Structure 1
Amino acid sequence: MREILQELFEKRVQQFVANHRNSKDNFSKADRKLESLAKRSAEIVKVKAAGKVLENTSEDDFQTIKYNAHYQYLIKQKGNLYLEEEVEERVAKFYKETLIMDGEIKPIENGAQPVGYSEPFMADTFDRLSYQYNRLKAIQYAERWWNSYNPAYKKFENDCTNFISQCLHVAGAPMRGYPNRGTGWWMQNHNWSYSWAIANSLRLYLSKSTAGLRAKEVSSPDQLLLGDVICYDFEGDGRFNHNTIVTAKDANGMPLVNAHTYNSRMRYWAYEDSSAYTPNIKYRFYHILD
């Protein structure tokens, strides 16, 4: 089975660098990525892929393997080179050692609030909580933990917003609001605010907060600085379900981002190559204030 998976990896790698693709193969991931790169006058000059088996279960003649696929893309744009990475979770199924299915496990980021919860207006009744936001520390943290999990913090199954909150906190943003989960932004004593861990709640918090962690919404991604935040509403229904942090800029001055859930680093901000992308996608761009 491992040999079959390795053969699949090799075929996928060729799809990213070949000038044409076999019409019998449907590697839409490569199609999406190459199309996105072409819009930016960028190209992949080298790609590597490696797999890590997470689970291996058998029942009668059937075997199911859940695994991570780690991609590394060396991208060239206007004479500049940078390395983009992402980890995709997949599942392969075999019948009598014959591959019958291999597909992506699509993450569903938790953008929904608990039943009965309504987002409060973030009224501030205390001091401004001055702080200095250290953008370098935010980037260093995002680079250190983009594909792993800091044991000092709770890990969530849908971890993208928790990861962004960690980056912001390490960079100096002060927590506030404990122990009210619907107020402020905090993690403490094995508990946390909705804004710390839920994508839509963090987006609302950044748009309303006037104390502690604060942000200013800007109109376009090129206005963002390193350490700023992008929020994503993939379906365009008003409920945001993903967040990323800006860790670099490409040759056009556009953001490259790090994220969890689908762990990725130096990924182009628009997510057009993501399986979660839809034509209805909406973005919010937040510049962190101090």
Structure 2
Amino acid sequence: MGGSAYVWWYNTKGTSGTGDDAWTYSWSVAHDQAYHLCRNNETDEHRGTYVAKATDLQLGDSIYYDFDGDGILDHSAIVVEIKNGQPYVNYHTNDTYHRYWDLGTKTTRFLHVTDFYWINYIHAH
């Protein structure tokens, strides 16, 4: 892992056993994760594309929620099931398993993930 630009989800800082490891914003903060997946300037790759509606999503895609309508994405969920054309999601904070995607937020963004590694990581965990 170490200091590679491609290690966006976790930073070991190269000093094993010293307790200075850290998560990154693009893994742990919904707004930053969405930005990373759709506009990754560091590696000049797009890992996802926003789509118009929930029914455009597939397994492994992400849904982002803005609870108060301020333009900052507050929460994310991963599509883990498609039932009757509608996505169902898993997320944590309050561990949730196979819940219907609509959380009643002011704004919802739908991100179709196109990065092969991301999709396979989600399916493996």
Overall identity of the aligned pairs, in %: 36
Which aligned pairs between 1:222-261 and structure 2 lie closer than 5 A?
222-251=55-84, 253-261=85-93
Amino acid in the other structure paired with 1:185: W
C-alpha displacement at 1:192, in angstroms?
A: 2.6
Aligned to 2:102: 270
CA distance in structure 1 between the aligned counterparts of 2:109 and 2:35, rounded to whole angstroms: 10
Secondary structure, aligned partner of 1:284:
strand
CA distance in structure 2 between the aligned counterparts of 1:178 and 1:192, rounded to whole angstroms: 13
Which aligned pairs between 1:55-74 and structure 2 lie closer than 5 A?
none
CA distance in structure 2 between the aligned counterparts of 1:196 and 1:246, rounded to whole angstroms: 17
Unpaired runs of 5+ in structure 2?
Answer: 13-20, 117-125
Based on CA coordinates, which of the two structures has the bigger radius of gyration?
1
Question: TM-score, normalization: structure 1?
Answer: 0.33
C-alpha displacement at 1:264, in angstroms?
A: 0.5
CA distance in structure 2 between the aligned counterparts of 1:228 and 1:284, rounded to whole angstroms: 11
CA distance in structure 2 between the aligned counterparts of 1:185 and 1:286, rounded to whole angstroms: 18
C-alpha displacement at 1:207, in angstroms?
A: 2.3
Secondary structure, aligned partner of 2:102:
coil
C-alpha displacement at 1:185, in angstroms?
A: 2.3
Q: Does 1:284 align with 2:109?
A: yes
C-alpha displacement at 1:259, in angstroms?
A: 0.4
C-alpha displacement at 1:231, in angstroms?
A: 0.6
C-alpha displacement at 1:258, in angstroms?
A: 0.3
Aligned to 1:196: 27
Unpaired runs of 5+ in structure 1?
Answer: 1-174
CA distance in structure 2 between the aligned counterparts of 1:240 and 1:286, rounded to whole angstroms: 12
Q: 1:187 aligns with which of 4, 7, 10?
A: 10
The two structures, once aligned, show a CA RMSD in angstroms of 2.5
Please give the per-residue CA displacement for 1:214-267, whole angstroms capped at 9, x wherever unaligned: 11111111111101100110111101110000011122x010000000111111
Question: TM-score, normalization: structure 2?
Answer: 0.73
Secondary structure, aligned partner of 2:33:
helix
